């Protein structure tokens, strides 16, 4: 029997996890230099705003990072794993082809019975997953959801391509989303345009027991930048309009942590000052589906985002996908 529909869903806890292996720009430059590839801290910071990122140890899986973040979120929400009846993991780097990483996380957390599945929308994955969980709670398919973004992108980077390998890192972030009579998630909007699949992709696959094609991340940075700035502005304005809000009402913008220039441009277009943008890309790099919940938890635990604050989440990624969620925290 399904739970009764709810008027709203609301975030009651956040959590995150970064693997202990911090890799500075200098560390990465030394690694690339061993293969005759030149880069530097100044070159990376100027183009991306990134100073460091975290890489998972060889034995760590996406599900391991997800479990750490989930436990922190559950603790913050005062919730036990067995009280969760919906588990969604947004990831592009699953533990296995199948079963889903969500099912693996479910087992590791000692949960069973509730729905569990993965969402693959690359860097927009967490926004997609949060919007789906909100809809499922509002329609009575769930009452309490655990929504996780987790990645080990270091496994799909070509360390002979300095234009991509300097950008990404590993990590996980999570939220507990519960049915509520008080408004929490106010509006969401999701989009994709498959005409642009080639500008950000990992074109390899497993077939016949072998990896076929190219197993590394490939990106047309200029094309991604041009698309990202435009779609983030339009989807953010659309979500605000749906909620009957204006950009002035947004206390915090929590964007996908891809590139400081994209984030600054998105904020300027909305008329938001830099001090109302949550930035973690400098120390975490681009953690794909994990970046938004990682940034959200960092700001919550750092005392910046407080109860009642209006928060705009916006994501953009390979697919080409994009979306936004407006919520009152």
Residues 99 and 169 grouped into a single domain: yes
Residue 218 in any domain: the answer is yes
Relative to beta strand 310-317, strand 252-255 is parallel
Residues 136 and 224 grouped into a single domain: no
Residues 169 and 189 grouped into a single domain: no
Listed residues 162, 180, 198: the one ending a domain:
180
Q: Which pLDDT value is given to residue 37?
A: 94
State which residues form the domain around 277. 185-328
Task: Report the chain's C-alpha Rg in angstroms.
Answer: 19
311 pLDDT above the threshold of 80: yes
**Can you give the CATH number for the domain in which 159 is found?**
3.40.47.10
Catalytic residue selected from 103, 123, 165, 259: 123
Residue 1 in any domain: the answer is no
- Local confidence band at 256 (pLDDT 50, 70, 90 cut-offs): very high
Listed residues 148, 180, 212: the one ending a domain:
180
Residue 287 in any domain: the answer is yes
- Local confidence band at 25 (pLDDT 50, 70, 90 cut-offs): very high
| Count of structural domains within the chain | 2
Residues 172 and 100 grouped into a single domain: yes
Residues 166 and 279 grouped into a single domain: no
Residue found under tokens 């983030």: 232
Residues 222 and 79 grouped into a single domain: no
Q: Is 2 a catalytic residue?
A: no
Q: Which pLDDT value is given to residue 68?
A: 98
Residue 2 in any domain: the answer is no
Q: Is 286 a catalytic residue?
A: yes
Q: Is 123 a catalytic residue?
A: yes
- Give phi and psi for 272, each to the nearest 5: -95, 135
Residues 18 and 118 grouped into a single domain: yes
Contact (Cβ atoms closer than 8 angstroms) between residue 188 and residue 130: yes
Residues 61 and 208 grouped into a single domain: no
Q: Which pLDDT value is given to residue 241?
A: 98
Residue 3 in any domain: the answer is no
1 pLDDT above the threshold of 80: no
Listed residues 130, 155, 180: the one ending a domain:
180
What would the mean pLDDT of 146-168 be, rounded to a whole number? 97
Residue 150 in any domain: the answer is yes
For a pLDDT cut of 90, what percent of the chain falls above it? 98
Helices 41-48 & 25-33, crossing angle to 10 degrees?
120
Residues 203 and 235 grouped into a single domain: yes
118 pLDDT above the threshold of 70: yes
Residue 57 in any domain: the answer is yes
Q: What predicted TM-score, i.e. pTM, was given to this entire model?
A: 0.97
Q: Is the backbone peptide bond immediately before 320 cis, with ω within 30 degrees of 0?
A: yes
What would the mean pLDDT of 108-135 be, rounded to a whole number? 98
Q: How far apart are CA 111 and CA 11, in angstroms?
A: 20
What single string gives the DSSP state of each residue in 5-30?
P-SEEEEEEEEEE--SEEEEHHHHHH
What would the mean pLDDT of 99-120 be, rounded to a whole number? 97
SS3 75: helix
Residue 303 in any domain: the answer is yes
Contact (Cβ atoms closer than 8 angstroms) between residue 278 and residue 253: yes
Q: Which pLDDT value is given to residue 275?
A: 96
Residues 264 and 163 grouped into a single domain: no
* pLDDT (tens digit per residue) in 178-228: 999 999 999 999 999 999 999 999 999 999 999 899 999 999 999 999 999
DSSP H or E stretch at residue 300:
helix 291-301
């Amino acid at each position: 029997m399904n739970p009764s529909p709810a008027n709203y869903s609301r975030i009651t806890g956040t959590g995150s996890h970064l693997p202990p292996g911090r890799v500075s720009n200098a560390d990465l430059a030394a690694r690339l230099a061993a293969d005759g590839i030149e880069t530097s801290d100044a070159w990376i910071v100027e183009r991306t705003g990134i100073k460091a990122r975290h890489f998972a140890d060889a034995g760590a899986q996406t599900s391991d990072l997800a479990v750490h973040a989930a436990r922190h979120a559950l603790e913050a929400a005062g919730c036990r794993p067995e009280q969760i009846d919906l588990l969604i993991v947004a990831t592009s780097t699953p533990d296995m082809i199948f079963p889903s990483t969500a099912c693996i996380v479910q087992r590791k957390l000692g949960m069973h019975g509730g729905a569990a599945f993965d969402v693959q929308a690359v860097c927009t994955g967490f926004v997609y997953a949060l919007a789906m969980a909100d809809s499922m709670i509002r329609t009575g398919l769930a009452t309490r959801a655990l929504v996780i973004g987790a990645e080990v992108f270091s496994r799909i980077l070509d360390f002979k391509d300095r234009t991509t390998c300097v950008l990404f890192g590993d990590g996980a972030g999570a939220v507990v989303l519960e049915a509520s009579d008080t408004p929490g998630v106010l509006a969401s909007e999701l989009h994709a345009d498959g005409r642009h699949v080639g500008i950000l992709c990992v074109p390899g696959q497993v077939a016949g027991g072998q990896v076929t094609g190219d197993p590394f991340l490939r990106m047309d940075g200029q094309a991604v930048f041009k698309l990202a700035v435009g779609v983030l502005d339009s989807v953010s304005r659309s979500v605000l309009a749906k909620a009957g809000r204006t950009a002035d009402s947004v206390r915090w913008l929590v964007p996908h942590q891809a590139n400081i220039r994209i984030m600054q441009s998105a904020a300027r277009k909305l008329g938001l000052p830099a001090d109302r943008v949550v930035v973690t890309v400098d120390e975490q790099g681009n953690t794909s589906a994990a970046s938004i919940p990682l940034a959200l938890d960092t700001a919550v635990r750092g005392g910046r985002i407080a109860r009642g604050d209006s928060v705009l989440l916006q994501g953009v990624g390979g697919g080409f996908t994009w979306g936004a969620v407006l919520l009152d925290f």
